[in-house]
Amino acid sequence: MAPSLTFFLLLLLTLTLTITTSTPTSKPKTFIILVNPDSKPTIFPTHTNWYNSLLSTNTTTTTTTTTILHTYSTIFNGFSATLSPSQAASLSSHPDILSLFPDTLRYLHTTRSPQFLGLKTSGNSGLLKESDFGSDLVIAVIDTGITPNHKSFNDEDLGPVPTKWKGHCVATSDFPPSSCNKKLIGAKFFSQGYEATNGKINETVETKSPKDTDGHGTHTASIAAGRYVFQASTLGYARGVAAGMAPKARLAAYKVCWNSGCYDSDILAAFDAAVADGVDVISLSVGGVVVPYHLDAIAIGAFAASDAGIFVSASAGNGGPGALTVTNVAPWVTTVGAGTIDRDFPADVKLGNEKIIPGMSIYGGPNLVPGRMYPLVYGGSSQAGNGGDGYSSSLCLEGSLDPNFVKGKIVLCDRGINSRTAKGEVVKKAGGAGMVLANAVFDGEGLVADCHVLPATAVGAAGGDAIRKYLTEAKKPVATIEFKGTRLGVRPAPVVASFSARGTNPETPEIVKPDVIAPGLNILAAWPDSVGPSGVPSDKRKTEFNILSGTSMACPHVSGLAALLKAAHPEWTPASIRSALMTTAYTVDNRGQTMIDESTGNVSSVLDYGAGHVHPEKAMDPGLVYDISSYDYVDFLCNLNYTTKNIQVITRKNADCSGAKRAGHAGNLNYPSLSAVFQQYGKHKMSTHFIRTVTNVGDPNSVYQVTIRPPSGMVVTVQPEKLAFRRVGQKLSFLVRVQAREIKLSPGSSTMKDGSIVWSDGKHTVTSPLLVTLQQPL
């Protein structure tokens, strides 16, 4: 039974209590508090008695106000509240409190993709047909809300709302009950955690309702499950049919992100509601810093969802191309990186010396005068800056440019600090005729097409260098921008997007992250017409669709695909769905060569794409799957040396770690990928092993033979080399042994090499990436 049921019901009234603190200058902060599930309700007959008992040791010097923000009763037992440091210390040591950790701010990770993914709408077979386009599956989108009555969310020809659905739509003045239909069947908002830190929401800028005043949530929801909309485009670009991955799936929107970000306490409240409402998939394009799992609100909420049979996909983050940037790394979450599709929007810079610098942009006019060359200046030059040292003006920050100098000219701006489209607004305000946005060295050659407010384009780091060189050499530098519209059939594709966060997994290197990549660059999807396509406040243009980039866009592709797979295979667990997506993923582009890294142009690796790029049609029939139960995850946490208390925080389960530790190590979690980490410590030879179990979901009488592609310089063996299945659902295990030799490394450095293990019966190919890391201790 939940602890102090009366207490939790009363908390829902959001009562405010006056309490005391011993440090008058201490500022209260928001905390998430998990209550021990073994606590007995009779201990605390009322909330007041309970609080008084916890705070009885505090000395009375002044009064502060503590507000209960959320209560959680589905994913775990607990609540969030604003507490003084002394209250937090008192609560954390109380025997009935399992855990207490501070609220954390997170940020958003901000159509041709169904066709590029091979989802066929015609014919009598294929994933869309087999799953009835995802009908009766419910996808929860935890984001910035949703735009009701958009064409992408119409309910034409949809059947009744699934009988299992327990959710509802929260009605407000700008989100009436009629906002929902048989497509959008749930809509809620959570702002208490946000307001506890930032104060009351400014409702002249955004609205306290499920309505999307940002655009991000509408965009991601329609990628996952938008209906077919013909003649969709953004400012005339990417014209065609817009559709989500699971066009008949139902949507439930949970708004947790506001102007300044998204708070864990609100995200957890959305998880709690989504699980209670009965969703099948949760899509979360939000992330932040990586912390241990028992302090990670998303990991805790996602575990409860997974335990309830709900597939959770999350964006890997936009911190690429640097290593160790991946977020949302818990193994019960499917972590999605971003790749390109075979479509782009070229907008090249033509310099006065006739040199062409390739660029990318979405701009609908008014255009530059055809054939005219415009004076070209660098924002960081001494003349362009409006005072200061030139750093702010080089980045085209607000108020940094001198209008007298940049008027009528094309301005070269460096990428960084403010948003890409905001730089264009700064140039436009200063009277500039256009903008060229140059990548920094760290950004490499990856280009993102933005809907700019003036003629503008983005160029890579090498292009930026070439333009700067021209500026120093030419007496009167001039340029123009040539917009070339939409280009299809681009090769190579897919390419790992430059911004897509990379491995290794900074929290648990034994688990490869990201898991897969999916389309995330220049994706067309639904957009609220109340928000300009550039996202800057001065942009009053209206469009029903917008083109955005980010792992935020890649994540809902996988969320929608998971709904299709769940509809086609209702018996599959979340781990089985992830396994099907991973083991059928591909790593070659449309030239037949290994995918490249957009930032460098070099060949990419497991650290960049995980298992590879998703292949939906093959995922429907993977042959074998690597299944994982909730208790397997408990054993995994045991082998990471988590305490039984911390394991209970994550899983709500009492853990006995003795058996788990005897069985092996954290890498023995039955994951579809394998990662071996060796600390050299002067050892000349090192070895480890993995035990894996596969479940036959293919043909009843099938024999799989293994093929090993060992990482360079490693010895990899698999026993047995053949798996003979007699029936569907049968499980067979195998052992993988990895042997490595010491290599010369400088202290504190490491090297990583990848390979693969492939099982095939002649019909199915089941591929597991293998990553080996050699580390030289300091």
Residue with tokens 């911004």, as numbered in its chain: 499
Half-sphere exposure of 682 (CA within 13 A, CB side): 0
Task: Say if residues 166 and 252 touch (Cβ distance below 8 Å).
Answer: no
Q: Compute how many other C-beta atoms are within 10 angstroms of the C-beta atom of residue 85.
A: 14
| Residue 121: exposure state from Cβ atoms within 10 A (0-12, 13-18, ≥19) | middle
Residue with tokens 């929007």, as numbered in its chain: 345
| Residue 263: exposure state from Cβ atoms within 10 A (0-12, 13-18, ≥19) | buried
Neighbouring residues of 383: CB distance < 8 A, sequence distance ≥ 6: 377, 402, 405
The CA distance from 688 to 626, in Å, is 20
CA angle 585, 587, 590 (to 5 degrees): 110
DSSP tag of 128: H
Given 552, 599, 605, 768, the catalytic residue: 552
Based on the residue annotation, tell me whether 552 is a catalytic residue of this protein: yes
The CA distance from 64 to 84, in Å, is 8
Assign 270 to helix, strand or coil: helix
The CA distance from 348 to 197, in Å, is 44
Q: And the tokens for 575?
A: 């781990």
Task: Supply the DSSP string of 289-319, one letter for each residue.
Answer: ----GGG-HHHHHHHHHHHTT-EEEEE--S-
Nearest to 51 by CA among 13, 12, 94: 94
For the chain, helix, strand, coil in percent to 5 are 25, 30, 45
Based on the residue annotation, tell me whether 216 is a catalytic residue of this protein: yes
The 624-625 sheet, strands edge to edge: 624-625, 685-696, 731-741, 715-719
Given 136, 143, 296, 632, the catalytic residue: 143
As a whole number of angstroms, the longest Cα–Cα distance in the chain is: 85
Task: Supply the DSSP string of 614-663, one letter for each residue.
Answer: --HHHHTS-SEE----HHHHHHHHHHTT--HHHHHHHHSS---HHHHHHH
Given 216, 219, 615, 764, the catalytic residue: 216
Based on the residue annotation, tell me whether 143 is a catalytic residue of this protein: yes
The CA distance from 169 to 210, in Å, is 8
Catalytic residue ranges: 143, 216, 552
